Amino acid sequence: MHRTLADDLGRLPELLQSARDFAAREVSGLADRPVAHLGKAPGRDPLPAAGTGAEGALDRFAERWAPGFSGSAGPRYLGFVTGGSTPAALTGDWLTSTYDQNVSGGGDSFAAALEHETVGWLRELFGLGEEHSGAFVSGATVSNTVGLAIAREWLGERLGVSVSREGLGALGRVDVLSGSPHSSVTKALSALGVGRDGLRQVPVLSGNREAVDVERLAEALESLEGRPAIVVANAGTVNTVDFDDLRAVAALKDRYDFWLHVDAAFGGFAALSPAYAHLVDGLDTADSVCVDLHKWLNVPYDAAVQFTRRRDLQVRVFHNASPYLGMPTGDPDFLHLTPENSRRLRALPAWFALTAYGRDGHREIVERNVALAGRLGERVAAEGRLRLLAPVRLNVVCFTLAEDPSQERVREFARAVAASGEAFVTPTFYGGTHALRAAFSNWRTSEADTDRVFDVLRRHSGT
């Protein structure tokens, strides 16, 4: 064994103690850490020949890189939809690396059984039934991709071909209909060979809405003249957190033949609160469902879950069996269900979080975040230099400068806010206007944080 490696092995408990002390300092300073670092990153070092040992590496990291890391896990980082990491989730994540299990299959470890238990808990949390099976993937983009890959196989089944064997050419045209799909849906269609142009955008409801107009969706399906299609329903749009009427969309199945995929990346968490659960009413009717976990479950990157009612088709697409072993039967191992073969035990942080805080604890995070978004929305609406662009339906505030919201001015506004270190919001384009979004999904965010965010927005709104 290399000498430094042998030294590290001999001192492993002390090394982990140093790492723990370092992490504890960083985590306790998280609320005051600048939300973003806009400065220039250090130049690249040459590849170390001899190596410093783990302690030396920690010193180098602390000196060169750590100061430039953002406070994205902290309470006033409201860009994109960004969760943090609860204490239990962080503990679970450390142990994921500690045990370093490969959850491709079962047999030699309880790890796969733990993933199954966790998926079952999540299914219940989001109001899905026994018919939905699920697996962990790295994020909502991959979850959408897996759901749409199963949908593609289903289209083949309807048309009497097997896309997983014969390829997409056997299928001909693929129609994908959606109202306000997330950009990851077009990315998935590109990767799946359907093509970005395969997406047909269906008009949304009038009156500052992003939810699909179900009558127009019915017309679009009618125009396919009986050809089966894929419908992507959206449960929580990124700009205004609008929700398609999932029950009404699903009811169209009585008349038309389609696969219903629901992108509930963060909107799925509405199910945790009796006050908002109606927004995802009908989620259980979906053929496939995407929910992100590194957003509102507040587990570390990268984790999401995908659910489907047609695991048989999922196995056809993703199975990784050698020809002489044949197709997996019974309860297929995870390697036959997701794009990965070797898989990290992503379920462990989620298992820790759900065990530690339960349904009630996670409901509290959701309800507090929604209340804080409402609080910020009210302040923005009352501030003459800002303009609220949509009602705050759940956890996102979509707003802009009241005067001359040109792309340049809005970007400069966002940059000035980030440069203050106090708050982080991200630019968007909504209703023909350059705008900003403040998304609440971090477990730490308080009223005081929200007021600090508003203060810095007001201060820089004259830019």
Question: 86, 104, 133, 141: which one contacts ligand PLP (CB under 6 A)?
Answer: 141
433-439: strand order across its sheet: 386-388, 396-401, 433-439, 426-430
DSSP assignments along 314-343, one per residue: HHHHH----GGG-S--SS--GGGTSS-SS-
Give the residue with the Cβ less far from ligand PLP, 185 or 221. 185
Stretch that binds ligand PLP, among 46-54, 258-266, 356-364, 389-397 (CB under 6 A): 258-266
Name the segment binding ligand PLP (CB under 6 A); options: 135-143, 191-199, 345-353, 421-429: 135-143
Q: In the complex with ligand PLP, which residue's Cβ is closer, 22 or 80? A: 80
Q: Which stretch binds ligand PLP (CB under 6 A): 87-95, 105-113, 260-268, 383-391?
A: 260-268
Task: Provide the greatest CA pair distance for the chain.
Answer: 71
Among 139, 147, 268, 300, binds ligand PLP (CB under 6 A): 139
Nearer to ligand PLP, 106 or 198 (CB): 198
- To which H or E segment does residue 177 belong? strand 176-178
Core vs surface per residue 398-432: b (16+ CB within 10 A) or e: bbbbeeebeeeebeebbebbbebbbbbbbbbebee
Query: For ligand PLP, how many residues bind (rule: CB under 6 A)?
Result: 13
Interacting residues with ligand PLP between 276 and 335 (CB under 6 A):
292, 304
Nearest to 264 by CA among 286, 239, 247, 248: 286
Shortest Å, Cβ 252 to ligand PLP: 21
Among 182, 309, 316, 362, binds ligand PLP (CB under 6 A): 182
Please pick, from the candidates 238, 270, 417, 456, the single residue that binds ligand PLP as defined by CB under 6 A: 238
- Could you tell me the smallest distance in angstroms from the CB atom of residue 80 to ligand PLP? 7
- What minimum distance in Å lies between the beta carbon of 356 and ligand PLP? 23
Minimum CB separation of residue 302 from ligand PLP in Å reads: 7
Q: Is the CA virtual torsion 207, 212, 215, 221 positive or negative?
A: positive
Contacts by residues 273-280 (CB-CB < 8 Å, ≥ 24 positions apart): 273/363, 273/366, 273/367, 273/370, 275/367, 276/366, 276/370, 276/394, 277/127, 279/235, 279/236, 279/243, 279/394, 280/126, 280/127, 280/235, 280/243, 280/246
In the complex, least distance from residue 43 CB atom to ligand PLP, rounded to whole angstroms: 29
Q: Which residues bind ligand PLP (CB under 6 A)?
A: 81, 139-141, 182, 184, 236, 238, 263, 265-266, 292, 304
